[in-house]
Amino acid sequence: MASDPMSFKGVILRSSEFKDKDRLVKVITPDRGVVEFCAKGTGKQGSRFSFISMPYMLCDIVITESHGFYYLKDASIIESNAEIMKDLDAMMTASHMASCLIDCATADVSRELYELAVYAFYSLSVNIEKARLIYSAFNWRLLVLLGFASEYDRCTSCGEKIDEKSENKYKIKLGGGYVICSKCISSGYKTDGYRFLPARVMISLNYFASMPLNQIFSVRCDSKLQADLCDYTREFLSVMFEKDYKDPFSSLSYPPVLGIK
Ligand SMILES: [Zn+2]
């Protein structure tokens, strides 16, 4: 017998074909983490829930459980975030964010991850030209939520506050909060697993770490800073998730176009 229906809001992270006319859908929810359910018959013409094949929408969802599987009972769109699918950079960013969220589905910060997803996909949809910045802000806030990163406050060695006007670079450890100011950097240090970052990169990361979600995705910055933020957050994420995240904005990572040699 089917159980009582469960209703929740969820952002669709992935939707894939299943059997002939069905789809398997993964959503991130406020209280249940990532939930997977089967949407039956959505491949049939005229199906009421055919929209469920589009990722990144925020929906009201009702599912029922039967023999350990969840089945879609009802759904309606709250926010379609449809613009994402009209831009390649936005699509790459959204796909990256979705797979990160699926990778940390078991984290016990379900509500925070859900809220991050809601703001990130919506911001991306209304600001597709800011894909790079949204990518970096998402990466950093995710790392902070999971306890893998925190604000860069002062030099680990001498304790001096990070000087945001400083032109000097700071030595930072990938995968840790360790930061060394230029005064403390002596010659002959090892550079493996370290990066040298300008203060303004660290100040931007602190902004992503601490400001309300409705503000972190709408900042403006020049293209050099955007590139630095993308690179650093991607490398940091790769170390912490033990996964080699490719640069989604490098033309080399785009799928090859058939017929062109
Ligand atoms: Zn120092």
**Residue-wise DSSP of 88-113:** HHHHHHHHHHHHHHHHTTT-S-HHHH
Q: Is residue 27 part of a domain?
A: yes
Q: Residue 48 maps to which CATH number?
A: 2.40.50.140
- What is the reported pLDDT for 11? 97
Q: Is residue 40 part of a domain?
A: yes
Q: Is residue 93 part of a domain?
A: no
Cα distance between residue 203 and residue 194, in whole Å: 18
Residue 257 has pLDDT above 60, yes or no: no
Q: Is residue 63 part of a domain?
A: yes
Ligand 1 midpoint to CA 207 (Å) = 22
Q: Are 139 and 240 in contact (CB under 8 A)?
A: no
How many distinct structural domains can be found in the chain? 1
Residue 211 has pLDDT above 70, yes or no: yes
The predicted model gives 229-251 an average pLDDT of: 91
Q: Are 217 and 137 in contact (CB under 8 A)?
A: yes
Ligand 1 midpoint to CA 139 (Å) = 27
Its domain, for residue 32, covers 6-79
Q: Is residue 122 part of a domain?
A: no
Ligand 1 midpoint to CA 84 (Å) = 43
Ligand 1 midpoint to CA 211 (Å) = 26
The predicted model gives 147-171 an average pLDDT of: 89
Ligand 1 midpoint to CA 201 (Å) = 17
Helix (H, G, I), strand (E, B) or coil at 39: strand
pTM given for the model: 0.90
Cα distance between residue 258 and residue 261, in whole Å: 8
Ligand 1 midpoint to CA 219 (Å) = 29
pLDDT tens-place string over residues 87-126: 999 999 999 999 999 998 777 888 999 999 999 999 999 9
Q: Is residue 51 part of a domain?
A: yes
Ligand 1 midpoint to CA 177 (Å) = 14
Ligand 1 midpoint to CA 179 (Å) = 8
Average pLDDT, the chain: 89
Ligand 1 midpoint to CA 183 (Å) = 6
- What is the reported pLDDT for 53? 86
Question: Which is more confidently placed, 2 or 222?
Answer: 222
Q: Which amino acid is at 221?
A: C
Residue 179 has pLDDT above 70, yes or no: yes
Ligand 1 midpoint to CA 185 (Å) = 7
Q: Is residue 73 part of a domain?
A: yes
Q: Encode 110-146: b = buried (16+ Cβ within 10 Å), e = exposed.
A: bebbbbbbbbbbbbbbeebebbbbbbbbbbbbbbbbb
Residue 80 has pLDDT above 60, yes or no: yes
Ligand 1 midpoint to CA 230 (Å) = 26
Q: Which two structure tokens, joined as six digits, stand for 226?
A: 């955007």
Q: Is residue 48 part of a domain?
A: yes
Q: What is the DSSP string of 54-67?
A: STT-EEEEEEEEET
